[in-house]
A = this chain, B = another copy of it.
Amino acid sequence: MTETAPRPTLEAVAERAGVSRATVSRVVNGSHGVREALAERVRRAVEELGYVPNQAARSLVTRRHRAVAVVAAEPETRVFADPYFAQQLRGISKELTAHDNQLVLLLTEGREDHARVGRYLAGGHVDGALVFSLHLDDPLPGLVRSAGVPTVFGGRPDWDDGRGGVVYVDSDNRGGARSAVHHLAGLGRTRIAHITGPLDQTSAADRLAGFRDVRAGADPGLIAQGDFTPGGGERAMRELLDRCPGLDAVFAANDLTAAGALRVLRERGRRVPQDVAVVGFDDMLPVAEQTDPPLTTVRQDIEGMGRLMARLLLRGLDGTAADDDTETPSATAPGVVLPTTLVHRATA
């Protein structure tokens, strides 16, 4: 653990370049109206001294931090159960980095942490927040609101279906579900079952809604609750098979669930896809490609969601972000819903 040497200041650079601090500041911040000759001298001095701006001093006057908080409830969401959150993080990180912003990670473990996060956000330490709020009664959204920090949500917050000006990014869960079920129906399957996710999460609720869109009058016995885990998928599949031995297709709310269902199907002697066709959701590669047989599933662009969240936030912060990108949605849209695509493998 080496001791960190005193860094050169603007002052030092100015002296070395034989100009004023203001001029150095202008050059460093890329503002125009500095004669090229001078600018060059300054740049050289910066280089020679290894000058790096002191962000604390800068923040003190600009009130900008070039930092964004990412808030996620760790135990409640499936944050670490599958690579879902990790991929979003990756997208977020890329986008923030591209615009020279830092990522401050705030993980909450329970109620006690909420106060801390609220205080931090309200403390004006970051310019904005990216919040993952997937549960019905999540206190986080309210907290963030009252903290008065510009925020973009990951996943449709259930408490705001279009009224408020809540900005969020989500996958087209409902449309994706529809396409999955349509595909199954197109295969000639008539007894299509659905294993849901935990229905207090909007993504799970939306996928169920999509299923119902296509199978309006479906036998309720063909719907079983899962929880986005393989174990939940197994339980639900057994239940389904007991209730409706004649089912010929299953739409699972996510890939992990489908993996569990597949195991039970094999255990019960059903051939996939001949006897029972299966479609998942997510297209988590490590899961979907490793199932036996490989899983047909609905792909969502998870990393893209993360990138978009960051982009939207940055854009709200100032006119700085990614105007070059065609994906940028209309400025008035409260929520942005990314399309999904069906990936054909072997289970349906």
Contact = CB atoms under 8 A, between A and B. Distances in A.
Interface stretch (A1-9, A131-139, A154-162, A196-204): A1-9
A170 B59 CA distance: 37
Interface in A328-344: none
A7 B122 CA distance: 9
Nearest to A256: B286
Contacts of A151: 1
A148 interface: yes
A275 interface: no
Contacts of A292: 263
A90 interface: yes
Interface in A1-36: 1-5, 7
Given A2-B148, A60-B57, A290-B230, A107 B80 contact: no
Given A52-B123, A79-B86, A97-B113, A148 B60 contact: no
A165 B145 CA distance: 46
A149 B4 contact: yes
Contact of A105 (B80, B89, B124, B167): B89
Interface in A62-89: 65, 67, 70, 74, 79-83, 85-87, 89
Nearest to A290: B230
A2 B105 contact: no
B56 A74 contact: no
A82 B83 CA distance: 7
A218 interface: no
A94 interface: yes
A190 interface: no
A154 to B, nearest CB: 15
Contacts of A106: 103
A128 B3 CA distance: 11
Interface in A281-330: 286, 290, 292, 316
9 contacts: A1-B151, A2-B148, A4-B149, A7-B123, A54-B60, A55-B123, A57-B60, A79-B86, A97-B107
Given A52-B124, A55-B125, 12 more contacts: A1-B150, A2-B145, A3-B148, A4-B124, A7-B124, A52-B123, A56-B56, A56-B59, A60-B60, A89-B105, A94-B107, A103-B104
